[in-house]
Amino acid sequence: MRTKLIELKTVAGWTYKQIHQEYPSIPIGTIKTTVNRANQRIKNETSPRSGRPRKLDEDDKSKLLNTIDTNPRVTYNDLLATVDNKVKRTSIWRLLHEEGRRKWLVLDRPGLTPGHAAARLEWAQTYEHFTPEEWARVFWSDECSIERGIGERREYIFTPRSKQILARDIRPSLIKGNQVKQMFWGAFSGSTRRTGLIPLYGNPTSARGGVDSTVIRDLYARVLPTLIEHRDGIFQQDNASTHTAYIVRDLLSSMSFECMRWLAKSPDLNPIKNLWALLKDKIYKMFPELKDMPNNNATHTYLVDAAQQAWQALDLDIMQRLSETMPHRVQAIIEADRWYTKY
């Protein structure tokens, strides 16, 4: 390209403006500089880098890249030792940055054993051929704890960090310590049906006074008959011990609908997990004052009401789209050979 630009100017006699019209992606200033510096180059090749030579040569760079490829969790201190501490950490960071290499946070996922992975593959193969219409029959359910001040989505801003400090345009840190909170249960289907967001209270007669299988059985007896009116509905529930107790299983078996066999350590397969994150963010968009309220009974009552209103304000189209992700989630398990997926 340099040769073309120089020939158009010196041989063909074009003006800089004519060359720029021929190659509009190249700024006219760049064209002028390229032509004016032609005599300083040998065969139009880039001149050697000015200043002292780099301390890290190509062999050092190869060692660093090979070390990273072999052990992605390698530390910068180990990388310094790889090149005999010729440079400082910032020099290695800069070199890797030029190569498009950077460190990422390691993803958090439930620890899967080979047994869990095998069960995931079997489950995926069972539902591999489900159509979106068939997935819309599934009612996804789960519990979620909503705590005051927790769950608001992070914000992004065009103001650089240093200027954010000067302008005091910041977001207060997340609230620490025990805050007012409440456990809820909810369910939805891709056929755009949902339950209300139901607060779960502990069983005062149980040993720990928490939510136990009796609470879950009474909840299901009250909610499921009206939720799953059609015989072809499929109910999905968590496989925690409070859901798999005999009194819960006996109740579900007496009802005239199918229960989906669920898997351990597979939150990536339940789209309601995504809905909880959207719900928490919705709460603070609708009720921002909740973050600054004191920890007392009045705030607890306000939290429950705010969560239920935010749940009802969630667009039903979101639930339909979440249901429609199920074929992709199933395929992701098969492609990952049973193991972790991006969901």
Q: What is the average pLDDT value for the chain, to the nearest integer?
A: 82
- Please check the confidence at residue 136 and state whether its pLDDT lies above 80: yes
Q: Would the pLDDT of 174 be above 60?
A: no
pTM: 0.67
What is the tens place of the pLDDT at every residue in 297-330?
888 898 899 999 999 998 888 888 988 888 888 8
Highest mean pLDDT among 44-48, 151-155, 315-319: 315-319
Q: In this predicted structure, what is the pLDDT of residue 326?
A: 87
Mean pLDDT to the nearest integer, 31-56: 76
Q: In which band, very low, low, confident or very high, does the pLDDT at 172 lie, cut at 50, 70 and 90?
A: low
- Using the predicted structure, report yes or no on whether residue 5 has a pLDDT greater than 80: yes
For the stretch 240-256, pLDDT in tens is 888 888 888 888 888 87
For the residues 110-115, what does the mean pLDDT come to?
80
Residue 42, SS3?
Answer: coil
CB pairs under 8 A, 24+ apart, for 195-201? 195/141, 195/223, 195/227, 196/308, 196/311, 196/312, 197/279, 197/307, 197/308, 197/311, 197/312, 198/223, 199/304, 200/143
Residue 38 has pLDDT above 60, yes or no: yes
